[in-house]
């Protein structure tokens, strides 16, 4: 890893593109329920960070591709770490929806 990669932030736009191109993948939004209701990416699953253990009930397959995002990227990084510690093997932090250039639904 180069020195500059230490400062590289995930790109949600590229992440959503990857999610759409990955068969059977899940787009996981870890913002609060209120934040999600204010606008979210169509097709995303909302499980707030504080309830991240609920992922086990919604995504039992530990190898399923999961793309995680939040508002700014902080909670998605935390959630990604927790999911990996729970045994999920294919988890990608794609950052914050505040950088998303696509359409959101309410």
Residue by residue, DSSP assigns 28-73 as: EE-S-HHHHHH-B-TT-EE--GGGGGGHHHH---TTS-EEEEESSS
13: exposed, middle or buried (C-beta count within 10 Å: 0-12, 13-18, 19+)? middle
For residue 70, indicate whether it is catalytic.
Answer: yes
Question: Structure pTM?
Answer: 0.92
Residue that the structure tokens 């959101």 belong to: 104
Q: What percent of the chain has pLDDT over 70?
A: 92
- 70 closest CA partner among 50, 101, 102, 97: 97
**Mean pLDDT in residue range 80-98:** 97
**pLDDT on residue 10:** 87
12, 27, 30, 70: the catalytic one is 70
Question: Would the pLDDT of 9 be above 60?
Answer: yes
pLDDT at residue 7 above 80?
A: no
> Does residue 11 carry a pLDDT above 60?
yes
- Across-strand partners of 25? none
């Amino acid at each position: 890893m180069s020195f500059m990669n230490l400062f590289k932030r995930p790109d949600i736009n590229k992440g959503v593109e990857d999610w759409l191109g990955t068969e059977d993948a899940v787009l996981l939004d870890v913002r609060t329920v209120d934040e999600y209701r204010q606008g979210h990416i169509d097709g995303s699953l909302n499980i707030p960070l504080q309830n991240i253990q609920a992922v086990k009930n919604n995504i039992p397959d530990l190898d399923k591709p999961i793309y995680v995002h939040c508002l700014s990227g902080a909670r998605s990084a935390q959630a990604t770490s927790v999911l990996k510690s729970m045994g999920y093997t294919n988890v990608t932090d794609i950052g914050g929806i505040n950088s998303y250039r696509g359409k959101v639904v309410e």
